[in-house]
Structure 1
């Protein structure tokens, strides 16, 4: 499992969009017992803290201590450092296991073997994520040029799974057909730039070139943003399954 996000953990916590309550409510509706849930690669605890409203105990694990230090605290959430493919939990411990915007970084075979070990026989497993956002036409053109051309060569190979809406990841579970969801937000220009800066390819570009690629689009993007309605829409990705 790669760790692309420790360096900008505080920015990640500040600028990454949260998942809407309606999607979390929908996911939890498939879970029979609300005892113990696990959010793997929890990052700043976005999903873990939403699950804490429903479950007696929620664990959030991540390989990045920096991320966990920026995680949202709740009395019934326990944050621990652990890799997705090799956790310290007992067999058949969890009613729900989630992984949000991270499964593409894992060794699929090892990860799914671990999920099958620690998920209860009647438990639910869910992969969550979001694709490339859309916004006003002018800003969209600038962002897509940035995404595909300026930082395109700096994306890790695993990014393709997100571009393919997680439809091409291995998913060795009895899959449940789910409703589609979107996340609609209104962003300031600072929030837009802050989010683009959390992209792993942006960080790879900075490391390789000692220059922030956002400087190349900053003025044009700001001009387009100031005259727009500042709305963004993320397509949400959701796959839910049970043990076979």
Structure 2
């Protein structure tokens, strides 16, 4: 399976406008882990998850295929960044107590990644994989937003996106003591902030590359009146699965 890098070309946008994850998710996750010596955050991007892990674990290793993304990441003394694919890492066998991958599993060769997880995990370590789906705003704005997602930039999504839509149901999770949880990310954004979030989508960037125009301007035109100058609540559904390696 070819390695897909859909985010290096807009690392600045990604660092500024992608969402992070709720405290409740981390509280749940840390409750599963008995030893907090070493964690690996895989496909770390700009280190959104890794810097939270660094506050709880003695050592955190964070990896990504995008050096450009990691250049935007927060630096901590106990947090180390390495450019490498998820499926092949330089870490010794039996290294980690916790392994995390957020909004990225669908880009991997999942079987090869899970094989690597078994190699580098300590016995009984926890693997947590999560992602988030389409935002929900309100009944007035949602129809235009969903039309944009399905019809304007729908053809520009990689087929991998389907795994987000079905919450990884078709990607095997061959581990024990599997648990599933759901969380909600709630943000309060003005229209400009929301539109810039859309520009972090790989499909939007692919559209721009192919056509030389910004499809998000269509959304701006559709939503200027409906959204107005106010800040509005934007809700993202987060799905998580975790198990013992």
Structure 1-normalised TM-score? 0.96
Distance in 1 between the 2:30 and 2:154 partners?
36
1:179 shift after superposition:
3.5
Do the aligned partners of 1:94 and 1:118 also contact (CA within 8 Å) in 2?
yes
- State the match for 1:160 in structure 2: 162
1:176 shift after superposition:
2.7
- State the match for 1:63 in structure 2: 65
1:169 shift after superposition:
1.6
Do the aligned partners of 1:133 and 1:235 also contact (CA within 8 Å) in 2?
yes
Deviations 1:25-78 (A, max 9, x none): 111110110000000000010000111111001111001000010011122111
1:142 shift after superposition:
1.1
Distance in 1 between the 2:19 and 2:161 partners?
18
Distance in 2 between the 1:134 and 1:127 partners?
22
Count of aligned residue pairs for this structure pair: 243
Do the aligned partners of 2:190 and 2:231 also contact (CA within 8 Å) in 1?
no
Distance in 2 between the 1:51 and 1:222 partners?
39
Deviations 1:9-38 (A, max 9, x none): 111010001001111111111011000000
Aligned residues: CA RMSD: 1.2
Structure 2-normalised TM-score? 0.96
1:109 aligns with 2:132: no
- State the match for 2:225 in structure 1: 223
Distance in 2 between the 1:144 and 1:61 partners?
33
Which consecutive segments of 4 or more residues in structure 1 shift more than 6 A?
none
Secondary structure of 2:127's partner?
strand
1:228 shift after superposition:
6.2
Secondary structure of 1:215's partner?
helix
- State the match for 1:72 in structure 2: 74
Distance in 2 between the 1:229 and 1:194 partners?
14
Secondary structure of 1:29's partner?
helix
Distance in 1 between the 2:79 and 2:168 partners?
27
Deviations 1:153-193 (A, max 9, x none): 00000000001122222111114324421111101222101
- State the match for 2:128 in structure 1: 126
1:202 aligns with 2:204: yes
Name stretches of at least 5 consecutive residues in structure 1 with no aligned partner.
none
- State the match for 1:189 in structure 2: 191
Do the aligned partners of 1:175 and 1:239 also contact (CA within 8 Å) in 2?
no
- State the match for 1:48 in structure 2: 50
